[in-house]
Amino acid sequence: MLSVAFAGLLSALSVYVVDRIERMSEGPAPAEVDLLRLVFLSGSFVLGILTYALIAGTSRSLLALALLPVLVAAALAGLWAWKSRRLAASARLRRELFEREAAECSRALERDPQNAAAHARLAELYETAGDRARAAEHGRRVCELAPSEKNRRRLAELEGRG
C-alpha cells in the first residue's frame, strides 16, 4: 500500500513537471506528444513502485536507492523538455511558413484576382490550417475560374460533401 502511495506521489510530481515544461514551451504540447506524455507519467509511476520496493527491501545504501528515482525523473524531465521545445519550435516554423505563403498568395490575388493557382494554394493552406470555411471559399473561386471535374471534386471534399 505504501509503495502505491509513494508511486502516486512521484506521479503527481511528474504531472507537475510536465505542466511546468509545457508552460515554459508556450502552451500545451501538440497532440502527437500524448503518447510521450503517457509513457513519461506511467514510467514515473512504475519507477515509484520499484524504488519503494527496493528501499523497503533493504536498509543499506538507502541514500543511493532514494537518489535513483530523482536521477531518472530528472533525465525524463530533460527529455520531455527537449521534445516539448522542439515541437513548439516546429509549430512556430509551420505557422510562419503558413503566414508567409498566405501573404504571397494574397499579394498575387491583389495583382490578379483571376489567378486560379493562387486561390487553389490558399484553399490548400487554409485546409491544412483547419479553416475549412475559408478553404471552401477559395475552392469555389477556383471552380469559377477553372471549371473541371477535378476542381469540383476537390470543392466537394472541402465542403464536406465528398
Assign 20 a pLDDT band (cuts: 50, 70, 90): low
pTM above 0.75, yes or no: no
pLDDT given at position 88 = 77
Q: Are the beta carbons of 65 and 55 closer than 8 angstroms? A: yes
Residue 146 to residue 134: CA distance in whole angstroms: 18
Return the C-alpha torsion angle 71, 73, 74, 79, nearest 10. 130
Percent of the chain with pLDDT over 90: 21
Residue 94 to residue 47: CA distance in whole angstroms: 36
pLDDT given at position 107 = 94
Question: Which cell numbers hold the place of 21?
Answer: 515544461
Task: Quick: pLDDT tens for 34-88.
Answer: 656 666 666 766 676 666 666 666 555 555 556 666 666 677 777 767 777 777 7
More confident residue, 27 or 45: 45
